Chain A
Amino acid sequence: MTTSAPMGMNRTGTQMSPEDTKRQIEATEQFRHDIPPGDASRITEERIKFIREHEAINEQVGSVPPPGSVKGVLKTGLDKMMGKNPELLIDKLGERLAYERTGVRLYEAFIAKVAAAPDARPELLETLRTIQQQEAEHMQLLRESIETLGADPTAMTPCAHVSGTMAQGIIQVLTDPRTNMAQCLNAMLTIELTDNAAWELLIELARQANHPNIASSFEVPMRHEEEHLVKIKAMLRDELKVQLS
């Protein structure tokens, strides 16, 4: 699993079947495309129409649920509690929570890959377990932050949903028994790069929304995430170097 992909019978390219390719190109010359004029921009035009149709009725992938905790709302009042655009902060907190929660599962899948390697390194597994534990702690912190705002940490907010959709490919890569270590580290690098930038922006957003306590409580996860990024990038670099040496 730790080795790079071998040279072999990859059949996808045209160089593997030059005679067939010649005949395929010949076919495109004999039987021309039948919907001229036009190009891929027809698809763009159609997409624009659909986007406008949804915009006209303000229909998005879904909405942010209003804070349901009577206690939270009565205590301070919604506006005072969350500033001008409370749904934005709830949505982004929900996104981060979902991301960290999925992150715990992604690390579990990655740990299986590392543990399966014939030369499985215990120190590497320990590092990954530590990162995984920290992702779980971040999730709990976000859960508490959402609860202090009177919002529901079990709801899937629109941004949480969209980030989940983005993660689908990462899940497929990490759980495929055939992907190698470098391919999985690359997937984790994508996760950690995004995570880093997202925590940074979330802290700024919490400050702007007049929640300095929440913002300062996020400094620790931010530092963790910076460390995660450095570690994953270093692991990937080492993995590629090993394969080249």
Chain B
Amino acid sequence: MDTFAGLLDLKGTPLDKQRFTWREMATRPISKLDDDATTRIRIILMNGIETEALRLKHIGARFHKELQPHLAHIRRVEQHQATAINWLISGDHSPLETTIAYEQVAIEVTAAVAQNEPDPYQAQSYRFGLLEDFDHLYRYSAMYDRLEGKDPNNILQGYTDIIPGRATSQHHRNPSDDVRDSYDKSTAQLITKIHAAMITSSEYQTHDYYMNIGNTFADPVARALYAEIASVEEQHVTQYESLMDASETFMEKWLIHEAMEVYAYASCAEQEENPRIKALWERFLDYELGHLEFACDLFKKYERRDPAEVLVGELPKMRPLKRNRDFVRETLSKEVDLRAHGIHYVPKEQEDRASQDYRNHLNSEGIPSDMASAGYIWTPGTELFRKP
């Protein structure tokens, strides 16, 4: 397997040299029509990772007075990195178009991660979540076609299939059926820790995005659809964050997050075709190497341990974030009927009664995802192009 050898040992930009102007942060956005969809996938992914970096460090700061000035310093740079990245999305994306792009991120990134993940249980968890985000794409695509009269493939650009996955109406589970087993920090490979941190970041962002924009729709069906899927995204955050070892100290989690950012920017820089955006990924890769070094120094100072205890391991290169359709279809064929029972994945006949009861009540006054997508078959040019 092709790996990033020695990536974490590279020298980065020192933290005090990481500066921005407003003009750099609110720079020219990408073109919705002409840029490759994978450029948008990387932008959304990296914004999710940077906003999670802020979130993690804010939570850490509440428990560690001695770290607060250091965390404040690094967070300010991350705030500006997140802005420079997220402002690349042009203002002519409607909220539903950005939503479709978010689901494409969830599918292509989770599929790439699931195929690289060495821990079988963790890989199974990614495949389980993948089939649900895959279904969200189908429901939102139907909503987009039927609300705005546009083709979701204008956003997806042929890289991702638009078909039902595990039906959204079946995702709603009793909370205890969303908590998973975790890796063991002393035996898990570094890439396993990185994957969990990355997918948790991405799902958290998706949840927050739906919560922020769902109520901006006037259409009652769209409002209800966002309410339904935002709830599932909260379940996904619960699932993915529970994959991480809860016995890790805050500083261990911080180191893993910085390593994950280095890995993610290196992957983006390697795969990016737009030269202007590639230069941004390279710049931020250097910034992250600086952050990692900064965090390692603090780890040595406060925990009096060697960061290598946490960060050693091979880093297989990230798979392409497009055309993972064969993997998705195979997963769909084999695992669509799996359900969660506690930390286990079981055939749907063995599903927990509590989850069924929970779901039946939520669905008892109508199911928004079913209403939005009844009979929907994706057709090039929208379903109105479909010949009778």
Contact = CB atoms under 8 A, between A and B. Distances in A.
B377 A176 contact: no
Contacts of A34: 164, 167
B332 interface: yes
Interface residues of B, number: 45
Contact of B157 (A11, A28, A33, A38): A11
Given A12-B154, A43-B371, 15 more contacts: A12-B157, A20-B157, A20-B159, A21-B158, A21-B380, A28-B379, A30-B329, A31-B161, A33-B376, A37-B374, A40-B146, A42-B374, A50-B220, A176-B92, A178-B31
Interface of B: 31, 33-37, 90-92, 146-147, 151, 153-155, 157-159, 161-164, 167, 219-221, 224, 323, 325, 329, 332, 366, 370-381, 383
A120 interface: no
Contact of A33 (B158, B159, B164, B381): B164
A230 to B, nearest CB: 30
B91 A16 contact: no
B372 A43 contact: yes
Interface string A18-40: 00110111011011111111111
Interface string A169-206: 00010001010000000000000000000000000000
A91 B181 CA distance: 60
A24 B33 CA distance: 20
B336 to A, nearest CB: 9
A21 B385 CA distance: 15
A213 to B, nearest CB: 38
Contacts of B380: 14, 21, 24-25
Nearest to A54: B220
Interface of A: 8-14, 16-17, 20-21, 23-25, 27-28, 30-40, 42-43, 45-47, 50, 172, 176, 178
Contact of B373 (A9, A17, A20, A35): A35
Contact of B329 (A14, A27, A37): A27
A47 B161 contact: no
Contact of B34 (A9, A37, A43): A9
A65 to B, nearest CB: 23
Contacts of A39: 374-376
The listed residue with most B CB atoms (<10 A of its CB), out of A10, A21, A27, A172, is A27
Contact of B377 (A8, A16, A28, A37): A28
Nearest to A8: B34
Nearest to B155: A12
A90 to B, nearest CB: 24
Contact of B378 (A24, A30, A35): A24
B374 A47 contact: no
Contacts of B377: 28, 32-33
Nearest to B329: A27
B161 A27 contact: yes
A8 B163 CA distance: 30
B374 A46 contact: no
